[in-house]
């Protein structure tokens, strides 16, 4: 269970998104397996207004082989036009992709969410089929998730919107003209950006 601080300072259990983000058909990260963080305060925030205050358990440490596979997969897509469209350097892309994997699965190859998302990148079976990958194969899962995130960067030209589309589906981002007002999706974007900041700090 994730506790979320409300505007009056009280802590309440986060509410299910069964009627929102968990029902999309073309997204990836339905009900991510790693939900250790939650943004604090109000929801319904725009892309530039998501509050970065968050609390978490200690950051998960990836196994060396998993980290190596994440980096190799990210480098395979370093020439994708989505990086250029989002004005990301190769280093920025590597860090963004790794942060998304950390939030999605805590680097667990066998992670399966309550919504049925599978593996390191938490690919839904239908999305994996569309991408032509086996989501239960860790390397194919990473390939599909990298390709999908790069496609979302190309579609939206902004890392936050790409993360929202990865979580809630591109149709939801288009429908709302930004990050959808789903707590799960807003939390996902905030968590990835918080991990991104931590990873960038450790690399400097």
Catalytic machinery residues = 104
Kindly report the CA angle at 65 between 62 and 67, in degrees rounded to 5? 45
Q: Are 118 and 125 in contact (CB under 8 A)?
A: yes
List the helix and strand counts (H, then E) for the chain. Answer: 8, 4
Q: How far is CA 55 from CA 76, 89, 185, in A?
A: 33, 29, 17
Q: Are 141 and 148 in contact (CB under 8 A)?
A: no
Q: Are 116 and 125 in contact (CB under 8 A)?
A: yes
Report how far residue 180's alpha carbon sits from residue 185's, in angstroms, rounded to the nearest whole number: 7
Rg of the chain (C-alpha set): 15
Report how far residue 165's alpha carbon sits from residue 179's, in angstroms, rounded to the nearest whole number: 8
Helix 90-105 vs helix 183-203: crossing angle, to nearest 10? 130
């Amino acid at each position: 269970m994730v506790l979320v601080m409300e505007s009056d300072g009280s802590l309440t259990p986060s509410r299910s998104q069964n009627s929102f983000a968990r029902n999309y058909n073309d997204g990836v990260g339905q009900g991510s397996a790693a939900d250790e963080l939650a943004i604090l305060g109000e929801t319904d925030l725009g892309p530039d207004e998501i509050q970065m205050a968050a609390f978490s358990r200690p950051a998960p440490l990836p196994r060396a082989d998993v980290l190596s596979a994440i980096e190799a997969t990210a480098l395979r897509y370093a020439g994708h036009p989505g990086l250029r469209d989002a004005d990301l350097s190769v280093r920025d892309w590597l860090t963004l992709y790794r942060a998304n994997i950390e939030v999605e699965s805590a680097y667990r190859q066998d992670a399966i969410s309550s919504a049925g998302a599978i593996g390191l990148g938490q690919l839904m079976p239908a999305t994996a089929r569309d991408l032509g990958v086996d989501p239960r194969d860790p390397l194919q899962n990473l390939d599909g998730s990298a390709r999908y995130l790069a496609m979302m960067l190309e579609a939206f030209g902004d890392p936050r919107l790409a993360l929202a589309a990865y979580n809630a589906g591109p149709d939801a981002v288009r429908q709302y003209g930004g990050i959808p007002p789903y707590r799960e999706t807003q939390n996902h974007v905030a968590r990835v950006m918080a991990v991104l900041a931590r990873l960038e700090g450790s690399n400097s």
